[in-house]
Structure 1
Amino acid sequence: MTASLEYPQARAQGCPFDPAPALRDVQAEAPLTRIHLWDGSTPWLVTRYQEMRALLSDPRVSSDINRDGYPVQSAAIAVRRRDASSFIVMDDPDHARLRRMITAPFAIKRVEAMRPAIQRITDELIDDLLAGPKPADLVKAFALPVPSRVICDLLGVPYDDHDFFQRNSSILLKRGTSAEEGAAAQKRLLDYLDELLGHKLADPGEDVLSDLAVQRVRTGELSRNEAARMGMLLLVAGHETTANMIALGTLALLEHPDQLAALRETDDPRLVAGAVEEMLRYLTITHSGRRRVALADIEIAGQTIRAGEGIVLAGETANRDPAVFADPDQLDIHRDARRHVAFGFGVHQCLGQPLARVELQVVYGTLFRRIPTLRRAVDLDEIPFKHDGQVYGVYELPVTW
């Protein structure tokens, strides 16, 4: 099959919440198609739900970024991840061994115990927002601080340093970041976390970095550098993804007033939780595809993926697959959307999903109730979307009330 589609594709003007039209076109034609990436490689693009789940759970599919044929997002990401790879781009048994070291803090019961603290943070930031000037940038005043404060508390990172780690995280997640810029930002974060781990070794607290320092580094199970890499992954992913979901989800709800009204007026936590699942499905902010490479020949959907060929799995179209979700382009918070693949699938699915769910439930269940007249302060076409990001969202969201 000849590759004809450049990837990633731009979203349509005026349709910022929907996948790129070209991706929907190829999804309608076939579950798999060849695409062109930045480096001239032609991996397979998987656009449908059934095939995505099958491949993400197939042991013949590798997450190892160092394998030949792995479809890296950019030259900068290739350099950075090979210099400081984390368990998300490793295969078992290394992936499972490292992941197990940090599973406990993200277990559902542990995260549920954090709900009152997350609620307090959310209410404090809404208090500040209401007391401040109008219009306000919801990203800066609310969407970014909520998960940043939560992950700082969990990891044991001083929130006073948020400008530093948010700025460097943003550099890492832009598609256009050069290899040199990305490597420098990564080094700054790793050096920062290495220094923090040193402090935790000398004076441990009750936080994830202290546990890594005492239980893993001091015992020799991890080097300081390996622990710093793990900490960087948790810090960056722990605030960036949820911040983008808060802001983009708020905007999507403002654009769907009937859905917003149903969410604002409910006191049923099950509806709020269901709304979060639907928002995750509908928006699917990881819009650069999950990347894999085949370890052996795989027959699927009438095609043969050969050993060594790259695979890009497009969650944003899998979550809009009409074979799984009726009227998939409609935002419907009453839908049962729990089967979505916004967090991936299989052994590599997102470790932090319980925390993200609780944060979003608290935010969506509180923001519109406390500010019932919240609305955009600018036209939709004036809002800067993160078309150039590894994670989709908005750079700013001017709101008033």
Structure 2
Amino acid sequence: MKWLLRVFAAVVVIGLLVAAGMYWLGARDGAMVASTLPDGKASAEVVARGKYLTQIGNCVGCHTAVNKPAFSGGSGLKTEFGTFYAPNITPDQQHGIGNWTADDFWQALHNGKAPDGSLLYPAFPYQSYSHLSRADTDAIYSYLKTVPASDRQAPAHELQQPFNMRFLLAFWRALYFRPADAVARTEPSQDALVRGRQLVEGVAHCAECHTPRDSMGGMEQSRFLQGGKMTDGIWFAPALTGDTEGGLGAWSAEDIAQLLLTGSSAHGAVVGPMSEALRGVQYLNQQDVSDIAVYLKSLPAAGLKAERSGDVNDTLYAMGKKIYGQYCAACHQADGKGVQQAWPALDGNSLVRGRDVTGLLRVIMDGGFTPTTAQTPQPYGMPPFRHFLNDQEIAAAATYIRNTWGNDSGGINQREVNRVRNID
């Protein structure tokens, strides 16, 4: 009996040591890099650089609620773990970051820690921002210090048990987070591939949506940029790899740049959460958008294969062909090629051919506009068909466009349409 107690005690001790080691690993700091701000003051050039980076990262999108002051706190990000609210990041002394130093700001972006040392939830994309240089974080900090202060207090997170126990983040971080190498890049790289990678992995934080996540919300780094389901359960961020099925294999660098600046290209148009991201991405200068395109085109194919949604019902396909000719062809054209800068192509469109049909069906039902950008101030829109076509007719139209021209993605049934129709 005593030996059983000894074994049990040994197991407990080992378990505690492992837990302690994981906690230490997850709570530790990355290396501190000295500030690039002389005497803590920023030049007009640094502030302008910070504004540009803040726009590209679309910080205003998460940190601003509807009809509230800019950067005074967000409307909420709903996830399976609960709802996260982005905080006030204006210079307000009490509710914002008015009392933060440049080192505090670096800690948040690079190490995912608040000034008091508490761990930040990864709904704030510090896994990506950790790749920013100290010069860039200093620039963003300097710009935010110039925006109008707001005394608005952002709502507290509304999380389910046990995710509201912040100390557990240390164990999550031990599994999923390592601060990036702390290299202060004061001079930009002269290599387009390097610059593009820095933008994609850093301030643009593309991986946060375009990389799949596991059940614990961690990014699957082995499937980097291979596409991922969004937290809202509606949209699927497509792969950015060189795959022709669901990726950018058929895209040129010019196609990628055009989509990022205008919201549309020969291969489709921006919809869903990417519309919000484009509020900032559209401000990329020509050099940076070119570098991003160069980097994305350098990514090899990951071997992704199209996943057919099911067999095509011939009767439904014939009905869809008729519906398409009656309601869709005038804009998207009989050959599915669309009209550039107006109505997106459906032939080869990643949303049409995607592994998840929820977003496609939502667009058919609710219509919408591509995002307004500086280059497309008055984008064309699509009318909603939710109240005009029944489930069978929507299934038919979707089946037709998913299996015509160069598309071969399988059929959609009425049950799937009904499921999407009832999503809040």
Q: TM-score range by the shorter chain?
A: under 0.3
More relative contact order, 1 or 2 (CA 8 Å, 6+ apart): 1
Q: TM-score, normalised by structure 1?
A: 0.23
Q: Find the structure with the greater CA-based Rg.
A: 2
Return the structure number with greater helix share.
1
